[in-house]
Amino acid sequence: MPIGTSIVESLSERELQVLRVLAAGRQNGEIGDELSVALDTVKKHITHILEKLGARPHRRNGPPVSWVCFRKLPAIPPRRSTFG
Protein backbone atom coordinates (compact mmCIF):
# COMPACT_ATOMS: atom_id res chain seq x y z
CA MET A 1 0.00 0.00 0.00
CA PRO A 2 1.53 3.39 -0.99
CA ILE A 3 2.42 5.82 1.78
CA GLY A 4 -0.53 8.04 2.62
CA THR A 5 -3.17 5.75 1.14
CA SER A 6 -4.78 5.10 4.52
CA ILE A 7 -4.84 8.84 5.24
CA VAL A 8 -6.53 9.61 1.93
CA GLU A 9 -9.02 6.81 2.56
CA SER A 10 -9.83 8.34 5.96
CA LEU A 11 -10.92 11.61 4.34
CA SER A 12 -14.54 12.26 3.47
CA GLU A 13 -15.46 12.83 -0.16
CA ARG A 14 -15.83 16.59 0.51
CA GLU A 15 -12.47 16.69 2.32
CA LEU A 16 -10.89 15.09 -0.75
CA GLN A 17 -12.48 17.73 -2.96
CA VAL A 18 -11.12 20.49 -0.72
CA LEU A 19 -7.70 18.83 -0.65
CA ARG A 20 -7.54 18.61 -4.46
CA VAL A 21 -8.36 22.31 -4.86
CA LEU A 22 -6.00 23.26 -2.02
CA ALA A 23 -3.20 21.22 -3.58
CA ALA A 24 -3.75 23.17 -6.79
CA GLY A 25 -2.68 26.29 -4.88
CA ARG A 26 -6.06 27.94 -4.34
CA GLN A 27 -6.74 30.05 -1.28
CA ASN A 28 -9.62 29.39 1.11
CA GLY A 29 -11.99 31.89 -0.50
CA GLU A 30 -11.28 30.48 -3.95
CA ILE A 31 -11.91 26.96 -2.67
CA GLY A 32 -15.26 28.06 -1.27
CA ASP A 33 -16.21 29.68 -4.56
CA GLU A 34 -15.16 26.68 -6.61
CA LEU A 35 -16.98 24.16 -4.39
CA SER A 36 -19.92 26.46 -3.59
CA VAL A 37 -19.42 26.33 0.18
CA ALA A 38 -18.97 29.01 2.84
CA LEU A 39 -15.50 30.15 3.85
CA ASP A 40 -16.04 28.84 7.40
CA THR A 41 -16.92 25.43 5.95
CA VAL A 42 -13.68 25.40 3.93
CA LYS A 43 -11.70 26.26 7.06
CA LYS A 44 -13.37 23.44 9.00
CA HIS A 45 -12.61 20.93 6.24
CA ILE A 46 -8.96 22.04 6.12
CA THR A 47 -8.72 21.75 9.91
CA HIS A 48 -10.14 18.21 9.76
CA ILE A 49 -7.74 17.25 6.96
CA LEU A 50 -4.76 18.59 8.89
CA GLU A 51 -5.89 16.81 12.07
CA LYS A 52 -6.07 13.53 10.17
CA LEU A 53 -2.54 14.20 8.89
CA GLY A 54 -1.35 15.04 12.39
CA ALA A 55 -0.46 18.63 11.41
CA ARG A 56 -1.43 21.89 13.06
CA PRO A 57 -3.46 24.42 11.06
CA HIS A 58 -1.54 27.60 11.87
CA ARG A 59 1.02 29.98 10.37
CA ARG A 60 4.61 30.65 11.35
CA ASN A 61 6.73 33.09 9.38
CA GLY A 62 5.67 31.89 5.98
CA PRO A 63 2.86 30.31 4.04
CA PRO A 64 0.17 28.34 5.86
CA VAL A 65 1.18 24.83 6.89
CA SER A 66 -1.63 23.49 4.71
CA TRP A 67 -0.21 25.15 1.59
CA VAL A 68 3.29 23.84 2.22
CA CYS A 69 2.06 20.29 2.88
CA PHE A 70 -0.44 19.98 0.08
CA ARG A 71 1.43 21.69 -2.75
CA LYS A 72 3.95 18.85 -2.59
CA LEU A 73 1.35 16.08 -2.87
CA PRO A 74 1.05 14.11 -6.09
CA ALA A 75 -2.30 14.20 -7.84
CA ILE A 76 -4.98 12.61 -5.70
CA PRO A 77 -6.99 10.20 -7.83
CA PRO A 78 -10.75 10.05 -7.45
CA ARG A 79 -12.09 7.22 -5.34
CA ARG A 80 -13.09 4.11 -7.18
CA SER A 81 -16.77 3.42 -7.12
CA THR A 82 -17.76 0.27 -5.28
CA PHE A 83 -20.81 0.06 -7.53
CA GLY A 84 -20.00 -1.82 -10.76
What tens digit of pLDDT does each residue of 43-80 get?
Answer: 999 889 888 877 765 555 555 554 545 555 555 566 65
Q: Where are the domains of the chain?
A: 5-71
Identify which of 29, 11, 31 has the alpha carbon closest to the alpha carbon of residue 21. 31
Q: 52-72: string of b/e by CB count within 10 Å (b at 16+)?
A: ebeeeeeeeeeebbbbebbee
43 SS3 class: helix
List Cβ neighbours of 18 (8 Å cut-off, separation of 6 or more): 31, 35, 42, 45, 46, 49
pLDDT for position 3: 43
Which CATH code fits 5-71?
1.10.10.10
